Amino acid sequence: MSKRWFQAHQRDTWRRQARSKGYRARSAFKLKQIQEKFSLIREGDLVLDVGSHPGGWTQVSVEETGPNGLVIGIDLLASAPVEGAQMVIGDVTEKTSQDTILDLLQTGVKVDGTSLPPVEEGETRLFNTIVSDISPRLTGQYDRDQAISLELVAMVFDFTLPLLSPGGAFVTKIFQGTGIEGIVNAAKQRFSRVQRFSPDASRNSSSEVFLVCKNKLPRPKKGSRKTSVSQELDLHLESEGIIQQKESESENDVKSGFRRIPKKE
Ligand SMILES: C[S@@+](CC[C@H](N)C(=O)[O-])C[C@H]1O[C@@H](n2cnc3c(N)ncnc32)[C@H](O)[C@@H]1O
């Protein structure tokens, strides 16, 4: 029996199970297994699902939060509505998407027209849990895909952590390989517990692993108060000799796959 055949068979098994239980994607079982082990989402929680299309993780999040919670999903792609969740179409790394998410969170309006209790004046409502299964469009070149994915994950940390309440939990998919320690170390500066976990539903099928971060600290540990996760990842990659510091690095540069590509005008 070839390894490839076995992996395809495993994927089909989870896909069939997903279909029979009404989940849109087999990935739903990954979040279910993460939830079984770590109990990240509680009844009544406010949850952000990053990279939510087609909605498997959103469905699981809604099941876990129940009618008193609020789930907001965001993805570049439009998904069919998920009962009980607000779905935002957009790039999580863009300010307009963040504003939309923050707006939905503050008003607390759910798709069924009911609302969360209003927040006190001057207060900001924050998420209890952020779950991210985000993945860039894969090219099939593992090293490149892994590098781009790592940078995307760092950006998700930077863009969404301000929306997570102290004590909150964060889980993200990462692909094993070069530079992963840079992300793990940056996470340890911001959460009191950080663990890697491979759910059965993803074992044998890829090199993905989930980074489970619990108990967000009220502020990052010393040494990380003035740096972002993306900067800490870059510093790690520089220290490992994987990227070189560019003298003429400009604020208008965007990063892609550990190389800097000038932004188009
Ligand atoms: C593996 S899929 C998510 C599957 C989902 N968790 C589920 O259970 O149905 C990864 C998703 O990340 C999304 N994605 C990639 N880059 C993104 C970005 N910058 N902003 C928002 N979503 C993004 C992709 O469009 C894709 O739908």
Angle between helices 56-65 and 28-38 (to 10 degrees): 40
- Give me the DSSP letters along 82-120: -TTEEEEES-TTSHHHHHHHHHHHHH-B-TTS-BPPPPP
pLDDT of residue 16: 86
Domains and CATH numbers, the chain: 27-246 (3.40.50.150)
Other beta carbons within 10 Å of 138:
13
Ligand 1 atom at shortest distance from the alpha carbon of 155: 19
Question: In which band, very low, low, confident or very high, does the pLDDT at 76 lie, cut at 50, 70 and 90?
Answer: very high
Question: In which band, very low, low, confident or very high, does the pLDDT at 237 lie, cut at 50, 70 and 90?
Answer: very high
Is residue 75 a contact partner of residue 53, using CB atoms and an 8 Å limit? Answer: yes
- The residue whose CB lies within 8 Å of the most ligand 1 atoms, and thus the one to mutate among 133, 210, 254, is 133
pLDDT of residue 68: 92
- Centroid of ligand 1 to alpha carbon of 77 (angstroms): 8
pLDDT of residue 232: 97
- Whole-model pTM above 0.75? yes
Measured between alpha carbons, how far is 185 from 53 in angstroms, rounded to an integer?
Answer: 29
Residue 54 preceded by cis peptide, ω within 30: yes
Pocket of ligand 1 (CB under 6 A): 24-25, 27-28, 51-57, 74-77, 91-93, 133-136
Residues marked active site are found at 173
- Centroid of ligand 1 to alpha carbon of 79 (angstroms): 11
Is residue 105 a contact partner of residue 70, using CB atoms and an 8 Å limit? Answer: yes
DSSP 8-class letter at 227 = -
- Centroid of ligand 1 to alpha carbon of 132 (angstroms): 8
Least confident piece of the model among 80-89, 113-122, 148-157: 113-122
* Encoded tokens for 201: 């539903």
Ligand 1 atom at shortest distance from the alpha carbon of 74: 21
pLDDT of residue 5: 66
